[in-house]
């Protein structure tokens, strides 16, 4: 069984909510990323979304845009991400890792070459922000053949018909984008999220995880009541931005923030 | 091998031009694009919609634009006769308004109170601010900070028209970054905002509808050629940034196999230097950006390259997906003109014909200078003069060391 499915099965048995942090790989520099991943797991991460830096992150707000710029200044590219995941797997063979990013770096590498290397490195899933299922005819099967799961987004604007298509193609979990906007945007409305998730549950057996707008223990716990998982990105990445000159301070801060969310979710 | 007649049946139902095009967007925008596609497909062949579009083009834009025989310049070049399709004479001074008139009608139908656009040279921004003023819509224009600097006149023009101009500081601070930021705005305000994309790029259905709205120039040029030349021209030339003025001219001629077509990209310092904005001529790899698959300048890791061109409107690392297909099937020859050649052509047309072209359009003229002398005086070339050069006076003055 894929590590992602395994993890959700375990969480379900325990009656717990998945906590899914996102970090841009290579930020503030490539040598820190694996250490951050371990720190996140220690603080209670169930799955790690590892962002592939891209020059034109159209769906991201300023916080993750700047993270991409920092990572790209050091030349971080897919081959480095594979090396990071390989190194992470030397110590951690259980925590699922999802690569999240934009299609162009993958197109440039070639679908097969990408999938081969991702599988060999120990990646479990791939979320390509700008590739809806309609465009994934070719890529989806290439991933599937190597046991890599395709994770798709669902948005507040997604029609029921589209949600049906997406859940038919999706694996692992559905990533529900909590608001119309880019990453790092302001507030979320839990009642609205709940209202959107209800019809999705009828369409799909996949765990529903909610991202965009989760900032602290309170928002995580509120969303955790209506979803199988919460995804947190910009708040963590913002800590990296605040400590670029003192990288040693980053991991403890990441652990504090994620730890607070873990506690709030499990309370 | 694709037959040229097949090219008139593109894109397919999912917005693909062969392997190119498509709808590569984050999920939040899928709904808005489906809605736009539905609206447009319903109106496309609706005679009332077409009549309204034609009426606006005639009475607001001032169409048809003339096909002007540049006799003196043709004589000086000593070869084929050069005819200029005078899109510079349109209201607001470029071909861009053909598209914004069309999309404004769609925006009106959508009932959304706000429009946004990206702009490079500022011509599309001006054309958008213009239709927004006319319809009483709120208008925000995203423009790379570098372009805000080099196209100051157009920035103030947009502001006079009531638009908010938002300088974009991210990335290379040019057109592609403006488009990123416009997409971010759209994703945030999709319920209230209509995005007027300015070229034949972006996610489906934009490449199709921007082409359709611009094709009026090609239809006119075809008719005018038959009337004024007595036959179809031997060649067409247009500059290619995203490629909307080029497709607008070329599309109605696509099945006329005797008509050669040349798309002129921005050669910058020279394609061989790597400092250019010529994905087709420079043999860029395939890639995905801004919602479509096309030829895209990017490095080995798939990061989009910075581009270089004297002309803000062509300073873009990709190209409309239909051009990518037309390159593959060989319907159009893509070439590049470098900054130096472009400035020469700019000055030459101004001196010899009293017509000051936009620096974008001067790319097409620069290639006309190369092509015409290789042809006979009884042969004919139609060049798309996509815009007028007033907006570029400050750029040229600066190169001349003159402070205005
Ligand atoms: C006068 C003029 N011509 C051409 C272009 C390039 O656009 P396209 O390649 O879509 O025609 C621009 C863009 O700003 C322009 O202002």
pLDDT tens, A201-240?
999 999 999 998 899 999 999 999 999 999 999 999 999 9
Residues B377 and B379: their CA atoms lie apart, in Å, by 5
Residues A161 and B180: their CA atoms lie apart, in Å, by 28
Q: Is B314 in the pocket of ligand 1 (CB under 6 A)?
A: yes
Atom of ligand 1 nearest to the CA of B88: 1
Record the pTM. Answer: 0.97
Contacts of A55 (CB under 8 A, 6+ apart): A68, A72, B171, B303, B304
Question: Residues A186, A234, A134, CA angle at the centre, nearest 5°?
Answer: 90
Place of tokens 């159009």: B332
Q: Which of B118, B265, B341, B360 is catalytic?
A: B118
| pLDDT tens for each residue of B151-185 | 899 999 999 999 999 999 988 899 999 999 999 99
Per-residue pLDDT of chain A (267 residues; tens, 9 = 90+): 899 999 999 999 999 999 999 999 999 999 999 999 999 999 999 999 999 999 999 999 999 999 999 999 999 999 999 999 999 999 999 999 999 999 999 999 999 999 999 999 999 999 999 999 999 999 999 999 999 999 999 999 999 999 999 999 999 999 999 888 888 777 788 899 999 999 999 999 999 999 988 999 999 999 999 999 999 999 999 999 999 999 999 999 999 999 999 999 999
Active-site residue, B96 included: yes
Cα distances (angstroms) measured from residue A22 to each of A76, A101, B275, B301: 16, 11, 35, 21
State the ipTM, two decimals.
0.95
**Closest CA–CA distance from residue A159 to any residue of chain B (Å):** 7
Q: Indicate the DSSP class of residue B305.
A: P
A3-266 folds as TIM Barrel (3.20.20)
Chain B environment of A57 (Cβ under 8 Å): 180
User: Which residues does residue B265 pair with via DSSP β-bridges, in sequence order?
Assistant: B336
Return the residue in B12, B21, B28, B203 with the most chain A beta carbons within 10 A, the one to mutate for interface testing: B28
Active-site residue, A60 included: yes
Residues A206 and A55: their CA atoms lie apart, in Å, by 32
**Closest CA–CA distance from residue A29 to any residue of chain B (Å):** 17
For A45, the token pair is 């991460």
Residue B171, pLDDT score = 86
DSSP string, B139-204: EEEEEEHHHHHHTHHHHHHHHHTTPEEEEE-STTSSHHHHHHHHHHHHHHSTTTEEE---SS-SST
The residues spanned by each domain of chain A are: 3-266
From the list B31, B191, B302, the residue facing A159 with the nearest CB is B31
Chain A environment of B25 (Cβ under 8 Å): 130, 132
Q: Which of A60, A124, A171, A228 is catalytic?
A: A60
Output the residue whose Cα is nearest ligand 1's atom 13. B313
- From B85, B86, B95, B392, mutation site for ligand 1 pocket: most ligand atoms within 8 A of C-beta: B95
Domains of chain B in start order, with CATH, are 17-58+96-206 (3.40.50.1100), 64-93+215-400 (3.40.50.1100)
Scanning every residue of chain A, which has its alpha carbon at the shortest distance from the alpha carbon of B14?
A134
Burial profile B264-291: b = 16 or more Cβ within 10 angstroms, e = fewer = bbbbbebbeeebbbbbbbbebebbbbbb
Chain A environment of B177 (Cβ under 8 Å): 56
Q: Is B239 in the pocket of ligand 1 (CB under 6 A)?
A: yes
What sections of B3-122 are H helices per DSSP?
27-44, 47-56, 71-77, 96-110
> Among A81, A94, A96, which residue's Cα sits nearest to residue A27?
A81
Residue A185, pLDDT score = 72
Cα distances (angstroms) measured from residue B69 to each of A42, B121, B161, B221, B229: 75, 27, 34, 12, 9
**Is B201 an interface residue toward A (CB < 8 Å)?**
no
Output the residue whose Cα is nearest ligand 1's atom 4. B360
Number of residue pairs across A and B with CB atoms under 8 Å? 123
């Amino acid at each position: 069984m894929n590590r992602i499915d395994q993890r959700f099965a375990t969480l379900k048995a325990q009656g717990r909510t998945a906590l899914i942090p996102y970090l841009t790989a290579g930020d503030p520099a490539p040598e820190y990323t694996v250490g951050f991943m371990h720190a996140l797991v220690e603080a209670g991460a169930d799955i790690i979304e590892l962002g592939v830096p891209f020059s034109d992150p159209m769906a991201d707000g300023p916080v993750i845009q700047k993270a991409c710029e920092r990572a790209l200044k050091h030349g971080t590219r897919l081959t480095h991400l594979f090396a990071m995941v390989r190194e992470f797997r030397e110590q951690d063979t259980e925590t699922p890792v999802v690569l999240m990013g934009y299609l162009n770096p993958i197109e440039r590498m070639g679908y097969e070459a990408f999938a081969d290397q991702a599988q060999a490195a120990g990646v479990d899933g791939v979320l390509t922000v700008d590739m809806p299922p309609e465009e994934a005819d070719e890529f989806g099967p290439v991933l599937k053949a190597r046991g890599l799961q395709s994770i798709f987004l669902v948005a507040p604007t997604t029609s029921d018909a589209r949600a049906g298509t997406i859940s038919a193609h999706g694996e692992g979990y559905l990533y529900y984008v909590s608001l119309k906007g880019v990453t790092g945007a302001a507030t979320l409305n839990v009642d609205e999220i709940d209202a959107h998730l209800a019809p999705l549950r009828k369409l799909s057996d996949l765990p529903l995880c909610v991202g965009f707008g989760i900032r602290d223990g309170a928002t995580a716990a509120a969303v955790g009541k209506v979803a199988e998982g919460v995804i947190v990105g910009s708040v963590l990445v913002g800590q990296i931005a605040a400590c670029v000159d003192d990288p040693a301070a980053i991991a403890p801060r990441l652990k504090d923030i994620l730890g607070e969310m873990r506690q709030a979710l499990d309370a | 091998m694709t037959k040229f007649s097949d090219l008139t049946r593109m894109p397919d139902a999912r917005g693909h031009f062969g392997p190119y095009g498509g709808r590569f967007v984050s999920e939040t925008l899928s709904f808005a694009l489906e809605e736009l596609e539905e609206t447009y497909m319903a109106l496309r062949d609706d005679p009332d919609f077409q009549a309204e579009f034609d009426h606006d083009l005639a009475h607001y834009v001032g169409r048809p634009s003339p096909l002007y025989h540049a006799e003196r310049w043709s004589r000086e070049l000593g070869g084929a006769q050069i005819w200029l399709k005078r899109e510079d004479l349109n209201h607001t001074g470029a071909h861009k308004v053909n598209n914004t008139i069309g999309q404004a009608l769609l925006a009106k139908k959508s009932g959304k109170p706000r429009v946004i656009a990206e702009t490079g040279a500022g011509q599309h921004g001006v054309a958008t601010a213009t239709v927004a003023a006319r319809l009483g819509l709120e208008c925000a224009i995203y423009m790379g900070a570098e372009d805000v600097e080099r196209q100051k006149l157009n920035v103030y023009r947009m502001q006079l028209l009531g638009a908010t101009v938002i300088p974009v500081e991210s990335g290379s601070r040019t057109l592609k970054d403006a488009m990123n930021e416009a997409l971010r705005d759209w994703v945030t305000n999709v319920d209230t905002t209509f995005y007027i994309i300015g070229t034949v790029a972006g996610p489906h259905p934009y490449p199709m509808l921007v082409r359709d709205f611009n094709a009026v120039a090609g239809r006119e040029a075809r008719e005018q050629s038959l009337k004024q030349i007595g036959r179809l021209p031997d060649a067409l030339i247009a500059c290619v940034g995203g490629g909307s003025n080029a497709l607008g001219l070329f599309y109605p001629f696509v099945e006329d196999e005797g008509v050669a077509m040349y798309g002129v990209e921005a050669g910058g310092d020279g394609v061989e230097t790597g400092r250019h904005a010529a994905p087709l001529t420079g043999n860029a790899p395939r890639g995905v950006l801004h919602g479509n698959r096309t030829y895209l300048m990017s490095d080995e890791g798939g990061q989009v390259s910075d581009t270089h061109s004297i002309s803000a409107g062509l300073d873009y690392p990709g190209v409309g997906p239909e051009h990518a297909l037309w390159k593959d099937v060989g319907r159009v020859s893509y070439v590049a003109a470098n900054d130096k050649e472009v400035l020469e052509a700019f000055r030459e047309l101004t001196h010899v014909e009293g017509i000051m072209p936009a620096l974008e359009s001067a790319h097409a003229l620069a290639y006309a200078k190369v092509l015409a002398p290789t042809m006979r005086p009884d042969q004919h070339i139609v060049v798309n003069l996509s815009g007028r050069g007033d907006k570029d006076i400050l750029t040229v003055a600066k190169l001349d060391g003159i402070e205005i």
